[in-house]
Structure 1
């Protein structure tokens, strides 16, 4: 049985580590290169960049690969420039090169997917200008955090706009569509809150489901195009009750083959009272982190009238920042939402303050090894 590539690299890393400990020449450089190779084997496509459908063309070429000169002609680039750019991607292990031909690998194949293409457009067209405006913005504010007005932050400075982030996305298509793809890619390949070993769905939701209280098992509030609920339904095929997806009209309108989906899609504004009463669970995935404390509290307040005491769960799938050992994925997202929304990722104490402040209580916080996101389970306080 062949050794998995990542394990082979790890074995080489061990040897290089011994050489480094003995101060052998070249050992430091070997460690760095092997580390890059390991990252390339384990990294997700959402963490890289792409342009001009190069990866799509390489995917079409398949295992045979393509000569750089041929690829340059197809994409309309100077051959010498393309070779330099592709050489860098080969060095990063995003592409493979053998016998003079460029060949795809799992990373480049992932980057050829439409959602990843759109995600990179969002990062380049929207996120990059917002983050680039940090130095000038914070110099003007004398290095204070932006106000929570949502109309005066790095994003607004970058685009000379008085619109809040989400209003601007809607007003400037196809940026909302690209953002939806970004969120889908952000979640792709990462642990789901309903995975085995994360949140005990069978014990906490399915067991005890009572259709006389409400017909819905899960209401996914602000659930985008249904990425989470498709996988939830596939994992729990014999689940009782209905699965409901809620989001803005424009997002719901992008869902393909609605009748064939395992959920019912309903347009809903979460700043208005929740219309579906007595669901077993109301799931909000990466919703509240987009809003300041006051707006997050309003979203939770709009859920409260629909909750059945002692029965309904509020499930917040969110980053809970460790104050002692913050994860890179958590701090990177913190920078993203600082640039776009003037808000922050929250610590456990911060989350508890908001949740308890609206009359809910935290039942438990479920964490999963290696995941930046946790699952906060809450219910109506007694």
Structure 2
């Protein structure tokens, strides 16, 4: 058995940059987590789940609201240096004792590093909170006004149904929580400005930090521009997936409007202005659209229709309706639908996929699907799977679909 001191020395030298590929990093992370579970006592696990996680999230949100992380970044520039609660209090105007208590809490989880008495250094996580506003947004309305509420009421809702697997988006945990049979989650998100922004932030971060870019999975270099839209991103939020396409491919080969971003009007508020900063040639056209209605005439016969984490929001019957509504827009033998989604493997599915599965259940009576379930769903809509593009250790795959 490795002596504890030797083990600690070995582990202390490992960082996220110690691996030659993202797949290797994820494999190591999962192995370390499995080891942690073996080392922890049952009480350790219960303590983490019931006290640590909610307490730390509360501390993080408070520090964000006080401007601690952004002020800390300014203090560190251009050379990284430690800081004290007293200095942060002077920078932010917040209470020094409150800052000290919050920093102690998150440093106990190694989110910042205590490098001396009352002195702290930033970690990559703390730096990202300062440099990426969307990352900080995940700790706001998305968590406190939606996810945590859904998980809190899920056990009671399931008990009220005699523990039946939920499949009706119009009669699920969301309506149970709202105590309103007519409540709709997407309407709730879209009409709450704080939550709308933070929901979009969370989706952007999920795409940026958690997922393999779709242009690294599907051979987008084979796509040839034409007089029709090249890619129509259905339910695309802030357009982060189309931005990945633009970053990969020269915009000189694309005409204005070659890429179309579609989502509900409430979700698209402010998006054209934000896109203009990265898309000066207006390659991306922003088009309000409800995917329960037929594609506009301008988007009929596109080469690629792209759905990223759209269908997992809906139970099978509704997902089938979405696919059947889209199908007439596809040109047989030319158009493709790319479904960028998680696949639940038959054995030892990734925890990120199974956690997402419970999230879908809690919010929308929906689910993540196995490969067989995806094939059945696609077939039932009059379409067929051409190929499943599945990178090693990726959370999501791309299911390539065409007209049957």
Matching of residue 98 in structure 1 with residue 115 in structure 2: yes
Query: 1:58 touches 1:65 (CA, 8 Å); kept in 2?
Result: no
Q: CA deviation at 1:199?
A: 1.3
Query: 1:58 touches 1:66 (CA, 8 Å); kept in 2?
Result: yes
Q: Over residues 172-217 of structure 1, what are the superposed CA-to-partner deviations in whole Å (9 max), with x where a residue is unaligned?
A: 332222211110111113311112xx211223x33xx5x2xx5211
- Tell me the equivalent position of 1:371: 394
- Tell me the equivalent position of 1:34: 11
Q: CA deviation at 1:118?
A: 2.0
Check 1:57–1:51 CA distance in 2 against 1; reply closer, same or farther (3 A cut). farther
Instruction: Extract structure 1 runs of 4+ deviating beyond 4 A.
Output: 25-28, 35-44, 238-241
- Tell me the equivalent position of 1:110: 128
- Tell me the equivalent position of 1:308: 331
The Cα RMSD (Å) is: 2.8
| TM-score normalised over the length of structure 2 | 0.78
Distance 2:161 2:12 in 1: 39
Distance 2:320 2:156 in 1: 32
- Tell me the equivalent position of 1:159: 178
In structure 2, the gaps of 5 or more residues are 19-24, 30-52
Q: Over residues 285-330 of structure 1, what are the superposed CA-to-partner deviations in whole Å (9 max), with x where a residue is unaligned?
A: 1111111111111111122111111110000000111121200110
Distance 1:274 1:119 in 2: 32
Distance 2:325 2:259 in 1: 19
Q: Over residues 25-72 of structure 1, what are the superposed CA-to-partner deviations in whole Å (9 max), with x where a residue is unaligned?
A: 5677x39x938974798799xx99532322222222212332123324
In structure 1, the gaps of 5 or more residues are 1-17
Give the SS at the match of 2:241: helix
Query: 1:40 touches 1:92 (CA, 8 Å); kept in 2?
Result: no
Give the SS at the match of 2:343: strand
Matches within 5 A, 1:43-122: 49=57, 50-52=60-62, 53=64, 54-62=68-76, 63-72=80-89, 74=92, 76-77=94-95, 79=97, 81-100=98-117, 101-112=119-130, 113-121=132-140, 122=142
Query: 1:277 touches 1:307 (CA, 8 Å); kept in 2?
Result: yes
Check 1:141–1:34 CA distance in 2 against 1; reply closer, same or farther (3 A cut). farther
| TM-score normalised over the length of structure 1 | 0.82
Give the SS at the match of 2:215: coil
- Tell me the equivalent position of 1:326: 349
Check 1:98–1:334 CA distance in 2 against 1; reply closer, same or farther (3 A cut). same
Matches within 5 A, 1:1-382: 19=2, 24=3, 30=8, 34=11, 38=15, 49=57, 50-52=60-62, 53=64, 54-62=68-76, 63-72=80-89, 74=92, 76-77=94-95, 79=97, 81-100=98-117, 101-112=119-130, 113-121=132-140, 122-153=142-173, 155-162=174-181, 163-189=183-209, 190-195=211-216, 198-203=217-222, 205-206=223-224, 211=226, 214-237=227-250, 238-240=252-254, 242-255=258-271, 256-257=273-274, 259=276, 260=280, 261-275=282-296, 276-381=299-404
Give the SS at the match of 2:379: helix
Query: 2:88 touches 2:96 (CA, 8 Å); kept in 1?
Result: no
Distance 2:15 2:204 in 1: 24
Give the SS at the match of 1:318: strand
Query: 2:234 touches 2:305 (CA, 8 Å); kept in 1?
Result: yes
Distance 2:121 2:378 in 1: 50
Give the SS at the match of 1:76: coil
Query: 1:115 touches 1:182 (CA, 8 Å); kept in 2?
Result: yes
How many residues align structurally? 346
Deviates more, 1:111-120 or 1:312-321: 111-120
Q: CA deviation at 1:75?
A: 5.7
Q: CA deviation at 1:373?
A: 0.5
- Tell me the equivalent position of 2:41: none
Give the SS at the match of 1:202: helix
